[in-house]
Structure 1
Amino acid sequence: MDILRTCALEIDDVVRSGTHAGFSGRRPTQYHLDLAADEVALRVLVGAGLRVVSEESGVTGHGDYTVVVDPIDGSTNCDHGIPFYATSLAVLFQGQLVAGLVRNQATGTMYEAELGGGATRDGTAIHVSGLTLFSKSVVAFSGLPSRHLGWSQYRALGSAALEICLVADGSLDVYMVARYSTLNPWDYLGGLAVLREAGGVGVDLEDRELVTDDAETRRPIFAASGELVTFLRDAGTI
């Protein structure tokens, strides 16, 4: 985990420098900050002998372990001064998700998980809420749902990795991706590692594999406790 922490903290230095505002012009919704953060991630991770799959630069390096990284998840929030954006890192070994780290770069809050070792927020163990009634749930969305499934309240916060971690620590009960707002692996894998070790479940409602380093993969995922995932499976896509 040390190399993941180093990566996240060095990206934080780039964020706090405040010198990379505005769009990059290379592709829609990509900011100069995304590219600057990616340079740091590659230097740290590839330099440590890891293979990297990044939102900003694709596949770089070689190694037995692959790190799937979104250097800044929620870069629009960052550019607009909304304090909810993160560096998300997930480690894959032989096709298995073995570790994850998500750091809110605005607040410094750090979520970490290793396979079989539980999940923590700033060093304290976390667990999903355990709520069983969807009608009482606080739900976060990516995309615009086509129908109301009966949740109590909803939020749209703008960083999938952090929103999944909020499910992991019980602050949210459910994270849902609308069918026309699918996510790439770098958006969700870091959070998924934390969620699983916190007792939660992440699913693609079409039952496709979520753990992949294929940059072309896109999934409409749901994250919740096991009981609520059962409800969502029965309800179908939104």
Structure 2
Amino acid sequence: MSQALHPMLNTAIKAARAAGAIINRASLDLDLLRISTKSSPNDFVTEVDQAAEQIIIETLLTAYPGHGILAEESGRAHGAKDSDFVWIIDPLDGTTNFIHGFPVYAVSIGLAFRGQVQQAVVYDPARNDLFYASKGRGAYLNDKRIRVSKRTRMGDALIGTGFPFRKGDNFKRYMKMFELVMQSCAGLRRPGAAALDLCYVAAGYYDGFFETGLNPWDIAAGSLIITEAGGLIGNFTGESDFLNQREVVAATPRIYGQLVQMLAPFSRVIKDVDDDTHPTEAPKTEGGEAAPAAAAVDAPRKKGPVRIRKADLAGAKDEDSSL
């Protein structure tokens, strides 16, 4: 890697590669896997998820024993409970793909400091692709700087998504969104690992992405990689409060505005009415330029850094997503 990396990012990369080695070894003999379901059908966990998570947590806490942990399989059982630093971990995003031998899955590790994501790693062990970013220092794939695409028209855009899969998900609502976006873009894709989907937007493979039902560990790392690559990410109304809203849209600045216009009517977010009303402000790209006005559709609150409240993190350990 050509540029000097932040020590915490280096530790995250070491942890992600160690987890990736466990995943790659297990992928050679999938018939031996022990698979169980979580709280609902189609929601799988394997011994590989658990072993990968364990080695990530051990690596991180050996280097930073005073840090907090929010991990998909073990929640906040490890690490310091009240630290300003919280590692947000998905040890195997795309478990359903993995157990079927479909090679689209990833390790996702993000570090939040006082609720703001500062370091991010998403590692694709099947391709040995390492996406990473430090706040303010750009986004990279392996040792090459990545940027979102330059496409501006939805009609030319390739959009990624994730389908609902649990009993109780609102399939009818999703199908309306699917139909609307599908008829407006050049193509819609659903590989099945949200962490990689976000990185694909950052690298310019997709021009945008949207999904419902995601948890913080699915999107924390990818959210920083997106913004450091010059893209925008928010909830369906275009606001930056998305990590705990179970809906996310990410895209190039111009495509983002058009996706928000389409998806805002489907948002589950209840808008806060503050006494001190802030003027609507469009999200900014990495370079500081304002996004198109459409990106601020139905956004009554001032945009700020993405913040993860500790109370939200503590309650985030519910159902999995992006399998």
Q: TM-score, normalised by structure 1?
A: 0.91
Q: How big is the shift at 1:40?
A: 1.0
Q: How big is the shift at 1:10?
A: 0.9
Q: How big is the shift at 1:61?
A: 0.6
SS at structure 1 position matched to 2:45: coil
Structure 2 unmatched ranges of 5 or more: 1-8, 164-173, 267-323
Q: How big is the shift at 1:167?
A: 0.4
The 5-angstrom pairing of residues 65-80 of structure 1 reads 65-80=85-100
Q: Does 1:210 align with 2:242?
A: yes
Change (3 A) 1:2 1:36: same
1-structure distance, mates of 2:69, 2:126: 24
Aligned partner letter, 1:21: L
Q: How big is the shift at 1:24?
A: 3.2
Partner deviation per Cα, 1:29-56 (whole Å, 9 max, x = no partner): 1122111111111211222222110011
Is residue 20–residue 123 contact of structure 2 (8 Å, CA) maintained in 1?
Answer: no
Q: How big is the shift at 1:141?
A: 0.9
Q: How big is the shift at 1:159?
A: 0.4
In angstroms, what is the RMSD of aligned CA positions? 1.7
Partner deviation per Cα, 1:55-77 (whole Å, 9 max, x = no partner): 11001211432110100011111
Structure 1 unmatched ranges of 5 or more: 212-216
Is residue 141–residue 154 contact of structure 1 (8 Å, CA) maintained in 2?
Answer: yes
Is residue 161–residue 191 contact of structure 1 (8 Å, CA) maintained in 2?
Answer: yes
Instruction: Count the aligned residue pairs.
Output: 230
Aligned partner letter, 2:234: V
Is residue 131–residue 228 contact of structure 1 (8 Å, CA) maintained in 2?
Answer: yes
Is residue 103–residue 110 contact of structure 1 (8 Å, CA) maintained in 2?
Answer: yes
Q: Does 1:185 align with 2:216?
A: yes
Larger Rg: 2
1-structure distance, mates of 2:18, 2:220: 21
> Which residue number in structure 1 is paired with residue 134 of structure 2?
114
Aligned partner letter, 1:92: A
**Which 4+ residue blocks in structure 1 deviate beyond 6 angstroms?**
none
Q: TM-score, normalised by structure 2?
A: 0.68
The 5-angstrom pairing of residues 106-185 of structure 1 reads 106-143=126-163, 144-146=174-176, 147-149=179-181, 150-177=184-211, 181-185=212-216
Aligned partner letter, 1:154: L
Partner deviation per Cα, 1:184-211 (whole Å, 9 max, x = no partner): 0100111111000000011102436135
1-structure distance, mates of 2:232, 2:208: 10
> Which residue number in structure 2 is paired with residue 214 of structure 1?
none
**Paired residue for 1:61, among 79, 82, 85?**
79
Change (3 A) 1:64 1:85: same
Is residue 35–residue 47 contact of structure 2 (8 Å, CA) maintained in 1?
Answer: yes
Identity of aligned residues (%): 27
